[in-house]
Structure 1
Amino acid sequence: MHQLRRNVFIYLRRHYKYGILLLVNISLLLFNIWILTNTSSVKSSNTKKLSLEVIEHEYYKTLDDYEKGVHLRPQPIYAEEKNEPFEKDKTRIDEVYTQAQHKYKVPLKYDYSERSSYIVPSIEHQGTIKCSRVMKNDEQEINKAESLHIERPGKIPVPLETYQWWLSRCKDFRRARGYVEVATEQEEKWPLAFSLSIYRDFEQAERLLRAIWRPHNIYCIHIDVKSPLIFHRTVRALAKCFDNVFIASHLDKIKWGDVSVLLPDINCMRDLIRYYRGRWKYFINLTGQEFPLRTNYELARIAEIFNGSNDIAGSLSRMEMDRVIHKWGHRWSITYQQMIFYDTFEQKTQFYENVTFYKGEMHGLFSHNFVKYVVESKIGIDYLNWCKDTGHPSEHYYNVLNYNKYLNAPGGYYGMLTIVCLS
């Protein structure tokens, strides 16, 4: 044994170059094995990440699945399970999207997903429900609509964080949600300005904006100061996606019953006159919980027929005079454990000697000149200040200005009644 070790030592000393070369080769072999092992683990990690991305989006497999309604119960593509390159899956997904876009002439919207924590708006065939028949109280059509509602119960609302992510890509969002980017000549002749007073239900408010939005109109959004910060940020992100949508320059805290209910519209009116004077002919005030029954084209036709007159409701018989002869305010109620709006029974000074009070809705169709009169004339400003301690001024402010002839409000009611029918 000793002789063998001695012979090996003598051999290595005589041929040391071969020994060094052997050690280098062994080292390189071990290094290559280490590299291959780590590369395999990285690929595995990337595959998992890609799989999660596919799961999150829940794409359709085929166009047939889309047509059959399988998109309500999607079968996601898992790159890892199928042991296929992700790019191949992505190509197949793009093909399905292209086929659907070509056939339905609209971009696909975000799909329904049983796996995801939310359900988002999508283009979805709702059967053969005729909305016009439902509006006419057609019993058969109403029953059909009710059965559809039972089959597809209410959706889980989309988180505002998700909306913020979508709104970070404005062009894609507008295309996916189907905003109408064109308008008829009639609509462009009669541009409209809208105010939206919102404080909750962003999804509903966005649906409302989508229904009324046209590129030639102007839109002002007022957000209640009491709304959560994330709601404010999401609404502002929505406004940034459109050149003709803006947030009111002054936001107020809205309290039920008092003059603050009027302020969202007044704030938007001031901004529309100050910054967009001449770019619109009529003003329509809405809340986030409303939805139009007329198309934008029909609204433009109605505005043309009114031709400078206002569409503001007013009734003498419905007016509750205690709301304007007494001062009203807020106080804490021990019984209800909350702030309530109440009649103080303190006598209020008269606004004008000959003024007649009318009660009606605060929503209407206001001409450009009437809006200018409300926010710039002495009468409009004085009456708003006088209304600050009245009861429910939103139900008599515009109405009193519109129906008292001697106040000379543009587009006001002068006692003539003309009935015009739209074909």
Structure 2
Amino acid sequence: MTVGEKIWGRRNLFQKLFLYSFRMFFSNYQSNRYEEGFLINKNSEDKQFENVWNGVRIKPRKLKMQKIKLDWKQFVIPLCLLVAFGIAYVSFFRHTETSRMHDFDPGISDKRKVSIYENMIDALRDENYGSSVGYRKRAETNHIQCGRVLSGDTEYINTLVGENRIPLIENRLLNMSCPAIRDRIHPKNRDFKLLDSGIAFARIVYTDYEFIEKQLEMSWHPQNVFCFTVDKKSPDEFISKMQKLDECLENVKVLPVVENYDSSGHNMNVGHKRCMKALLPNTDWYYILLLQNHDVIVKSVYEISRIYSLLGGVNDVHFGKELDERRVPGLKWDPKSMHLFRNESGIDKKVLNEPMRVYSGAVQVSLSRAAVKWLIEDVDVSIAIEQFNRTEYGGDEQLIPSLYLNHEYGMPGHFTDQCIDYQGIDQITRFVQWVREGINGCPTKSFRHGVCLIGIEQFRALSRMPFITVNKMVPSFDYSIIECTSELLYNRTFLSQMDHELDESFYKELLHVKYHKHHKDPGYKLDCSSNQNPSKYEYYL
């Protein structure tokens, strides 16, 4: 049964319950007026008519009181049911109507499968398919001409969207030997130039192994290091494949599978903290990028390294005011009670005893090595994480933003909450489109967990954006955008393609970058205004 059928089934159930309540109410109302033996003389001028009820002649007022005593349940209960199901009906479909019409359904029609398999067969028949020269596409996307999409060929793009979108078809015979894995991720014929400094990647995963492997391929460099934590609820086959990466690649760590993660954010901070601790002994990286399953890298390793050099040590964290109901009431949030500082000597008593100012943001952040060292060695965030973890939804999005903006805590690369209402670009780590303006605000007209799904029609705009990652690209929705993005990064990395030059001045002028550079200068005053455009998709079309 599809998502739409399930929702329509619920709609029919609500309709039946609503109509049943209405009929009960109406029938009881009618019976109270016209019940057999209950006669009303409407022609009596003084309204003092008589009634006959069960053969007894009584006055109307007395009859009315007896009827109320006997029949109130038949009248009130249907009325309450009518109101309750009416409210439920409206509330349910106000919440699900958009989902019914537009939410992403991973099912593939038979007609669509035939078209995809025909393209795969054509690719596999090509004697040059699978060549080790150049970028290697999957069979299902081998026919996609990414250059035409990048140039904005609307007529061609229209042949790749809607019913023509190309999902990833899982390779059930994927070779998981170490030589095969290494050949897919970093073939021997790829030459890497030296980075200014290596980059660390920490990603929490639970599904889509081949997608994860592709992201590893496009961010792989001998100087980079990678850490994965895997959801304990993931299928055994997925866990086994992830563990092979640890076995086969010396710069990849896959930590023991011990935690459950979910879309509400539980244990996300725990997983990322474990990765930060595991990667800290590797000394070649300057920044770490905290990611989740379907975050897609959209900058080459050289571009990312250069961007981090331009940040100059400041952390890159999305922030905003604390969202309501994101914390369990009654908990203590002062650093003293949370045992936040491992060594409290030298810490101002006011800082220790005042409650942490809590802010909301995002899990995806870029942290300097100094900040990671501080998080692991100088402070203990265990209690803070445990308390945020009690939140029903989104507690994981509050830890790093709160530490980042409570500048008095001394986090290296921190910012300040003086600009909490800042409307400019506060983060370049991740780009995301929320379904805040209705489904028509999503170019693909599809979403998941309140986030627009990214499709091939957005490729040209994404190639011009200043962000390091994009969320959310789902391989079972549209793999062509993932493939074309990967090919673009390959061309930038190994062929020196210059389709869009990195705007270094943009990064230098970011508010948190300027603050980090000058906040210790005598007489420095922070200006919370910005001359940069907000991070809207439309600006990059």
1:243 maps to: 250
Secondary structure at the counterpart of residue 221 of structure 2: coil
CA contact (8 A) 1:379 1:407 kept: no
- Aligned residue type for 2:359: Y
1:322 maps to: 325
2:16 maps to: none
> C-alpha distance in 2, partners of 1:381/1:178?
37
TM-score normalised by the chain length of structure 1: 0.59
Distance of aligned partners of 1:144 and 1:249 in 2 relative to their CA distance in 1, 3 Å threshold: same
Alignment equivalent of 2:169, drawn from 127, 150, 156: 156
Q: Structure 2: which 5+ residue stretches go unaligned?
A: 1-118, 336-353, 427-503, 509-541
Q: More relative contact order in 1 or in 2 (CA 8 Å, sep 6+)?
A: 2
CA contact (8 A) 1:208 1:288 kept: no
TM-score normalised by the chain length of structure 2: 0.47
Q: How does 1:119-138 map to 2 (within 5 A)?
A: 124-127=142-145, 129-133=147-151, 138=152
Q: Structure 1: which 5+ residue stretches go unaligned?
A: 1-68, 77-95, 113-118, 328-345
1:307 maps to: 312
Deviations 1:71-114 (A, max 9, x none): 616569xxxxxxxxxxxxxxxxxxx56x984xx8348777x4xx
1:288 is aligned to 2:297: no
Distance of aligned partners of 1:144 and 1:376 in 2 relative to their CA distance in 1, 3 Å threshold: same
**Identity over aligned residues, as a percent?**
19
Distance of aligned partners of 1:142 and 1:215 in 2 relative to their CA distance in 1, 3 Å threshold: farther
More helix as a share of residues: 1
> C-alpha distance in 1, partners of 2:334/2:230?
31
> C-alpha distance in 2, partners of 1:172/1:109?
16
Structure number with bigger Rg: 1
Q: How does 1:187-226 map to 2 (within 5 A)?
A: 187=195, 189-226=196-233
Alignment length (residue pairs): 286
1:404 maps to: 406
2:182 maps to: 174
Deviations 1:166-207 (A, max 9, x none): 121x3344335665853323x2x2100001211111121111
> C-alpha distance in 1, partners of 2:160/2:258?
40
2:67 maps to: none
Q: How does 1:20-59 map to 2 (within 5 A)?
A: none
CA contact (8 A) 1:200 1:231 kept: yes
CA contact (8 A) 2:316 2:366 kept: yes
> C-alpha distance in 2, partners of 1:267/1:242?
19
Distance of aligned partners of 1:321 and 1:374 in 2 relative to their CA distance in 1, 3 Å threshold: farther
Deviations 1:126-154 (A, max 9, x none): 22544545xxxx5xx34422304566743
Deviating more after overlay: 347-356 vs 198-207: 347-356
Question: 1:272 deviation in Å?
Answer: 1.1
Secondary structure at the counterpart of residue 269 of structure 1: helix
2:332 maps to: 349
Distance of aligned partners of 1:381 and 1:107 in 2 relative to their CA distance in 1, 3 Å threshold: closer
Q: How does 1:10-159 map to 2 (within 5 A)?
A: 72=122, 101=131, 105-106=133-134, 112=139, 124-127=142-145, 129-133=147-151, 138=152, 141-148=153-160, 153-159=166-172
CA contact (8 A) 1:107 1:175 kept: no
| RMSD of equivalent CA atoms | 3.3
1:375 maps to: 376
Question: 1:261 deviation in Å?
Answer: 2.3
Distance of aligned partners of 1:239 and 1:350 in 2 relative to their CA distance in 1, 3 Å threshold: closer
1:66 maps to: none
Deviations 1:265-316 (A, max 9, x none): 111111112x42x221110011221211211111101110112110011112
- Aligned residue type for 2:133: K
Distance of aligned partners of 1:100 and 1:241 in 2 relative to their CA distance in 1, 3 Å threshold: closer
Alignment equivalent of 2:240, drawn from 207, 214, 233: 233
Distance of aligned partners of 1:296 and 1:151 in 2 relative to their CA distance in 1, 3 Å threshold: same
Q: How does 1:273-284 map to 2 (within 5 A)?
A: 273=280, 275-276=281-282, 278-284=283-289
1:17 maps to: none
Distance of aligned partners of 1:155 and 1:131 in 2 relative to their CA distance in 1, 3 Å threshold: same
1:64 maps to: none
